[in-house]
Amino acid sequence: MKRVERVLKIAFILVFFLAVFVFVAAIFIKIDPGEAYIGSFNSFDLSEGWTVYLPDGSMLEDRDLPESIKVTEGQQITIERTLPDTISDGMRMGLRSSREEMKIYVDGQERGSYSVDDFATKRKSVVSAYVLVDLNAADAGKPIRVEISCSSNPTVRLNRITYAYGNNVWFPYVQDNINLVIVAVLMVFLGVFAIGLYVFIRKKVSEAKSVFYLALTIIIAGMWMLAESEIRQLIFNSPSLSNVFSFMLIEIIAAFGAMYCNEVQKRHYTRIYTILECVILIQVLTNIVLNVTGIVDFYDSLILSHSWSALTIVTVAGTLIADTVTKRSKAYKFTAIGLATLVFCSMLEIINFYLYNVVVMGFLLGIGLLVLLGFTIVQAVFDILRSAEKRRVEAEKSNRITFQTIASTIDAKDKYTGGHSDRVGHYAKLLSMEVAEDYGLTKQDIAAVSYIGRMHDIGKIGVPDSVLNKNGRLTDDEFELMKKHTIIGYDILKNIDYIPNLRAGVRSHHERWDGNGYPDGLKGEQIPLVARILCIADSYDAMTTDRVYRKKLDKATVLSELQKNGGKQFDPELSKVFISMIDRGVV
């Protein structure tokens, strides 16, 4: 039966993995060409064949977008081409402004614009946005002109242009940004989850504060990524306000990251991180005042925010290296791996922004933070388990001393059975280890059996010395008194509940498989497993030690008694195992 169960478990696990494979295949692989049409968000590209008119009067013909052109602030670039004949009613054209002002003309008539003057709070850096222009059938074949004015960038980015029916024009942009948005939403969700985890573990794990600070960092980063997303127009009613929001978030994310690292590293670098946090706070407040008063725009002071973020990254990297050298990182080895990953991803993020002009930021940072969160949760679980194991070991040591004292007390009271309790505990442990797999016994279960073996005769404390130490066989009345030690022990241990099956083992270790034992006349598997194990261990020690009424039995007689009483006094399966253990020299 055990083997059948094992085969079934393996089979079901294999079926599970097969089902997962089919699930993934259904997402990515089209197997049947006869599948029902799933539909699409069709859009059409309008990025080829443009003529670019430069500020100096020259022009570039038959250009494909996207393209970047260096200009001086305040200069204007114009691009022109003819709309395709496929334009029809209900269509829209979409193009993206990368912090430039623009106007769109169809057949000489202005059909759309994007300007800083449209914002309630005018700022030097115009928020990047998608500009949509409604088209109709009359526009087919007509000339289209886009005038782009440089507001702050030394480079004008001519982005690709698409057209489609209705809101389908958004689909290619959503498709381009979906990974970033998914990561951002996942970060906010997991950040909230991490705060819940913090509430749960804050009284159990000393480093719980680190989880809280990391949760805040992840939530802030996720919100910042959404606010900076190219499709923020689909998320926020006021994209320009979301831009202010994103600048405020990028100011403080490094501070919460420093708080997190300080907790993880046991506050060993508190002075360094505190100085960083103070400087960042002063900068945040100063930038807010300067932006509100119109003196300096957030975008213009962005390099300062990035500078302190970069310094925080370098500081974390330096402290990680120092902790690795001094081996302090062993205390947070999982988190250290996550931190190293975040440092790497964060450095790449800043490098991409300044060296490769990657405007849309956050994806690499988000991946780094999610990896760090995963390792932090693993670390927290590991710390809980390590703390629990430490408490268990300490409790086990304390219990072992306590039980040894009790066992010694019991054996001292019974002068004819010195060391009996220790030996029964030892034999019971050996037998439970031998059958652990068959009966699903854990290491804790085996340790408990050993403890119970040392405690099994605790009720003899309540048996009169005249009976316990009688030099000769007991009378029927005296035997009845002796039998009460099982119930006395059961009552004595009524307030001890941290050792499973303790009282059951003490009460029932004299029950017999055939039902003729005491005190309850239990039969067969009605007898608790621990009591059936103790029954064999107790009887074996009784047969192999000298008693007042007889000398110890030889090995052959002991084996014969165990075999003869299997199915009568002893559990037949357990007795076979114990006999085998004697034959093999385990006992």
Predicted confidence (pLDDT) per residue in 270-284, tens digit: 999 999 888 888 888
Same domain, 361 and 425: no
Residue 19 placed within a domain: no
Same domain, 180 and 141: no
Q: Answer yes or no: is pLDDT of 549 > 70.
A: no
Q: Which one of 346, 365, 384 terminates a domain?
A: 384
User: Over the Cα atoms of the chain, what is R_g?
Assistant: 39
Residue 283 placed within a domain: yes
Same domain, 110 and 187: no
Q: Which one of 343, 363, 384 terminates a domain?
A: 384
Which pTM does this prediction carry?
Answer: 0.60
Same domain, 290 and 363: yes
Per-residue model confidence (pLDDT) at position 426: 93
Residue 185 placed within a domain: yes
CATH of the domain at 558: 1.10.3210.10
Same domain, 207 and 328: yes
Count of the separate structural domains present in the chain: 3
| Across 525-543, average pLDDT | 93
Same domain, 178 and 241: yes
Q: Are 488 and 462 in contact (CB under 8 A)?
A: yes
Q: Answer yes or no: is pLDDT of 528 > 50.
A: yes
Residue 273 placed within a domain: yes
State the pLDDT confidence band at 120, using cuts at 50, 70 and 90: very low
Helix, strand, or coil (residue 156):
strand
Residue 36 placed within a domain: no
State the pLDDT confidence band at 122, using cuts at 50, 70 and 90: very low
Q: Are 86 and 46 in contact (CB under 8 A)?
A: no
Residue owning tokens 């989850």 = 193
pLDDT digits (tens, 9 = 90+) for 408-433: 776 666 655 567 888 999 999 999 99
State the pLDDT confidence band at 35, using cuts at 50, 70 and 90: low
Cis peptide bond N-terminal to 66, omega within 30 = yes
| Across 178-199, average pLDDT | 87
Same domain, 201 and 308: yes
Per-residue model confidence (pLDDT) at position 121: 47
State the pLDDT confidence band at 111, using cuts at 50, 70 and 90: very high
Helix, strand, or coil (residue 364):
helix
Same domain, 457 and 522: yes
Residue 391 placed within a domain: no
Q: Percent of the chain, pLDDT > 70? A: 89
Highest mean pLDDT: which range of 40-54, 218-232, 491-505: 40-54
Q: Percent of the chain, pLDDT > 90? A: 31
Same domain, 347 and 309: yes
Cis peptide bond N-terminal to 33, omega within 30 = no
Same domain, 116 and 205: no
Q: Which one of 106, 133, 159 terminates a domain?
A: 159
Same domain, 508 and 532: yes
State the pLDDT confidence band at 80, using cuts at 50, 70 and 90: very high
Same domain, 213 and 300: yes
Domain holding 522, by residue range, is 414-583
Per-residue model confidence (pLDDT) at position 508: 93
Average pLDDT, whole number, for the chain?
Answer: 84
Q: Are 481 and 464 in contact (CB under 8 A)?
A: yes
* Strand partners of residue 91: 135, 165
State the pLDDT confidence band at 152, using cuts at 50, 70 and 90: low
Least confident of 229-243, 352-366, 387-401, 459-473: 352-366
Helix, strand, or coil (residue 535):
helix
Q: Answer yes or no: is pLDDT of 181 > 70.
A: yes
**Cα 313 to Cα 255: distance, rounded to the nearest angstrom:** 11
